[in-house]
Amino acid sequence: MNNTFKQTDSPIWDELADHRQSQQNFRLVEKFAEDPTRFDKMHVSGANLILDYSKNLVTEETLTLLVKAAESLNLKDRIAAMIRGDKVNTTEDRPALHTALRDFSGRAPFAADIDAAFSKMKAIVDQVHSGQWMGCTGLRITDVVNIGIGGSHLGPMMVTDALKGFSKGAVKCHFVSNIDSTDLHSVLDLVAPEVTLFIICSKSFTTLETLQNAKTAKAWLEAKLPEAKNATGKHFLAVSSKSGKAGEFGIPDTNVLPMWDWVGGRYSLWSAIGISIAMSVGMDNFNRLRKGAEAMDQHFQSASLDQNLPVLLALLDIWYVNYWGGQSQAVLPYCHRLCYFPEFLQQLTMESNGKSVDMNNKPISYPTAPVTWGTVETNGQHSFHQLLHQGTGFIPVDFIAELNPGDDEHHAHLLANCLAQSNALMNGKSHEDIKTELMDAGMTEQNAQVQAMHRQIPGNHPSNTIVFERLTPEVLGSLIALYEHRVFVQSVIWNINAFDQFGVELGKKISQQVYTKLVEDGTDAEFDASTEGLIGIYKKAKS
């Protein structure tokens, strides 16, 4: 892949490339030593969040050039176009209007449809919470099982888990996604059929995993509770843009909440797909989550580019991916309630921008979405941080931390570890310092020389630190919207459509053909020798 990044004929791309050349010997520690106000200049707040981006491999000139590059692509206009509902998803000829779902002004596109959907959602949630909604034996619902996958699972699960502290305690929410039945059965083992409500979340209502899990759940329910056969509506809800298909499954129209083609799956937690969140925390807290996202949407639209959190983060991403060769990015929440956040972000970032054809239908010759990964901390410190500190890769890190979750002996340790890691990644520790320490402790110079080779930490690794006071619904809403918009800004600069995902289709299609060959004899489908060999081994194992 040609690594030269030249998005338009504007001279800005050459200026950025030249500037990168001039930063060959960039050392973060030197920059902090040279400018005691670096932190003051390079941290910014907006919509409930504070971003410290001072530990990045940038100078003020770098940022000026990156902002100029964004301006040269009319970023402000592109943001406005997305939010007003232009068809930014060009390949599917539709808008991407997740922002409308958290716009409380009443002026967003489709405002009336959105209001109607949320009214229906609220009515259902209230009925379940009050005990008015009963299972087919007349008992109130105590357990809700969300069956969905991808965007119909990751967002709702991540938010429900993160906001456990705001739960109304009316129902327990469970999440099932995988086609491996172990997932479903591990939940069915915990619930009683009389008091369980299944929510089938699928925008398309064609997704194999979701439909198979829904079918098995229905069979389980009816086997345990024969009365449920004629009362599917008491135990099943659906959220889908295909109410007809939900109807074919046996879910009455009254129990189907709408989804629309103008909401991408990975952005759908803001729609009725988020009903399991509301089942847990109530509609009031779901609305607080939406409010937080709306605050970030407003910041995104109104803040100048050099003070704009999602824009700054995206520009730093471009700097690393297209000028420093970064292919991977770690997201490390120092907040246990964000434990599913990295997984959620994997779909958001990689399904959106893992593309290699641009908006002009031309092959892309520069790198796009880096691999996003991470885990909740401090767990990662005891596994992969070795690679962050001493590996050969170039991996920018996002640290995310809560400042004041309440009095607790643990929290200051957690935060201290967060700050220590970004400090260590930046400063490292030199060969000379380690050698001196070892010799002071009595080691011979020869041994200390060798030992110091293995113990030195190069440092100069870039990171962002995003902090907030407390993980409230508003803060979480802002945090999710921050990353959504960051992904959008990246897509503008990479000139790609962030809202389609055709790449996932081929494997789905082949799996149907393989399935036919696995379970039925006499199919004509022929695969490569490896696949055929493995099918043969499977058949032998099953015989």
Residue among 54 and 501 whose Cβ is closer to ligand F6P? 501
Q: Kindly state whether residue 243 participates in binding ligand F6P, applying the rule CB under 6 A.
A: no
CA–CA separation, 155 vs 139, rounded Å?
Answer: 30
Q: Map residue 370 onto helix, strand or coil.
A: coil
Among 48, 207, 329, 378, which residue sits at the site for ligand F6P (rule: CB under 6 A)?
207
Least distance from C-beta 146 to ligand F6P, angstroms? Answer: 12
41, 185, 229, 508: which is the annotated catalytic residue? Answer: 508
Least distance from C-beta 94 to ligand F6P, angstroms? Answer: 14
Written as six digits, the tokens of 500 are 């389609």
**Total Cβ atoms within 10 A of residue 26:** 17
Site string for ligand F6P, 15-44 (x = CB under 6 A): ------------------------------
Residue 129 annotated to the active site: no
Query: How buried is residue 248: exposed, middle or buried, by Cβ count under 10 Å (0-12/13-18/19+)?
Result: exposed
Least distance from C-beta 278 to ligand F6P, angstroms? Answer: 18
328 beta partners: 371
Among 94, 203, 337, 486, which residue sits at the site for ligand F6P (rule: CB under 6 A)?
203
Q: Kindly state whether residue 266 participates in binding ligand F6P, applying the rule CB under 6 A.
A: yes
Place of tokens 């109304």: 168
Residue among 234 and 266 whose Cβ is closer to ligand F6P? 266
Please list every residue from 348 through 377 that binds ligand F6P, using CB under 6 A. 351
- Say how many residues touch ligand F6P, by CB under 6 A: 14
Residue 508 annotated to the active site: yes
What single letter denotes the amino acid at residue 401?
A: A
Please list, residue by residue across 296-310, b when 16 or more beta carbons sit within 10 angstroms of its beta carbon and e when fewer do.
bbbbbeebebeebbb
Please say whether the beta carbons of 102 and 269 come within 8 A.
no
**Total Cβ atoms within 10 A of residue 334:** 24
CA–CA separation, 95 vs 84, rounded Å?
Answer: 9
Least distance from C-beta 398 to ligand F6P, angstroms? Answer: 23
Least distance from C-beta 228 to ligand F6P, angstroms? Answer: 24
209, 294, 343, 351: which is the annotated catalytic residue? Answer: 351
Going through 292-447 in order, the beta strands assigned E by DSSP cover 328-334, 371-373, 397-402
CA–CA separation, 461 vs 92, rounded Å?
Answer: 39
Give me the long-range contacts of 213-221 (CB less than 8 A, separation at least 24): 213/147, 213/176, 213/177, 213/179, 213/183, 213/184, 214/147, 214/249, 216/181, 216/184, 217/145, 217/147, 217/176, 217/184, 217/188, 218/249, 218/250, 220/188, 220/193, 221/193, 221/196
Task: Report the candidate in 478, 482, 498, 502 with the shortest Cα–Cα distance to residue 490.
Answer: 498
362, 382, 509, 540: which is the annotated catalytic residue? Answer: 382
As a whole number of Å, the CA-based R_g of the chain is 26
Among 54, 99, 196, 202, which residue sits at the site for ligand F6P (rule: CB under 6 A)?
202
Please list every residue from 142 through 171 that binds ligand F6P, using CB under 6 A. 149-152
Site string for ligand F6P, 490-529 (x = CB under 6 A): -----------x--x-------------------------
Residue 351 annotated to the active site: yes
Residue among 96 and 425 whose Cβ is closer to ligand F6P? 96
The interface region with ligand F6P, picked from 191-199, 202-210, 223-231, 385-393 by CB under 6 A, is: 202-210
Place of tokens 């007809």: 244
Least distance from C-beta 148 to ligand F6P, angstroms? Answer: 6
Q: Map residue 401 onto helix, strand or coil.
A: strand
Residue among 67 and 117 whose Cβ is closer to ligand F6P? 117
Residue among 266 and 461 whose Cβ is closer to ligand F6P? 266
Residue among 204 and 456 whose Cβ is closer to ligand F6P? 204
For the chain, the helix, strand and coil percentages under 3-state DSSP, each to the nearest 5: 55, 10, 30
Written as six digits, the tokens of 129 are 């919470």
Please list every residue from 306 through 345 that binds ligand F6P, using CB under 6 A. none
The interface region with ligand F6P, picked from 2-10, 198-206, 290-298, 317-325 by CB under 6 A, is: 198-206
Least distance from C-beta 199 to ligand F6P, angstroms? Answer: 12
Among 196, 210, 463, 495, which residue sits at the site for ligand F6P (rule: CB under 6 A)?
210
Residue among 259 and 475 whose Cβ is closer to ligand F6P? 259
Please list, residue by residue across 133-169, b when 16 or more beta carbons sit within 10 angstroms of its beta carbon and e when fewer do.
bbbbeeebbbbbbbbbbbbbbbbbbbbbbbbeebbee
Least distance from C-beta 376 to ligand F6P, angstroms? Answer: 23
Q: Kindly state whether residue 213 participates in binding ligand F6P, applying the rule CB under 6 A.
A: no
Residue among 343 and 351 whose Cβ is closer to ligand F6P? 351
Residue among 422 and 501 whose Cβ is closer to ligand F6P? 501
Residue among 351 and 398 whose Cβ is closer to ligand F6P? 351
CA–CA separation, 447 vs 374, rounded Å?
Answer: 36
Least distance from C-beta 349 to ligand F6P, angstroms? Answer: 13
CA–CA separation, 154 vs 485, rounded Å?
Answer: 18
Q: Describe the strand order of the beta sheet including 256-258 as a list of residue ranges.
A: 172-176, 143-147, 196-201, 236-240, 256-258
The interface region with ligand F6P, picked from 43-51, 201-209, 274-282, 373-381 by CB under 6 A, is: 201-209
CA–CA separation, 140 vs 67, rounded Å?
Answer: 56
Residues that bind ligand F6P (CB under 6 A): 149-152, 202-204, 207, 210, 265-266, 351, 501, 504
Cite the active site residues. 351, 382, 508
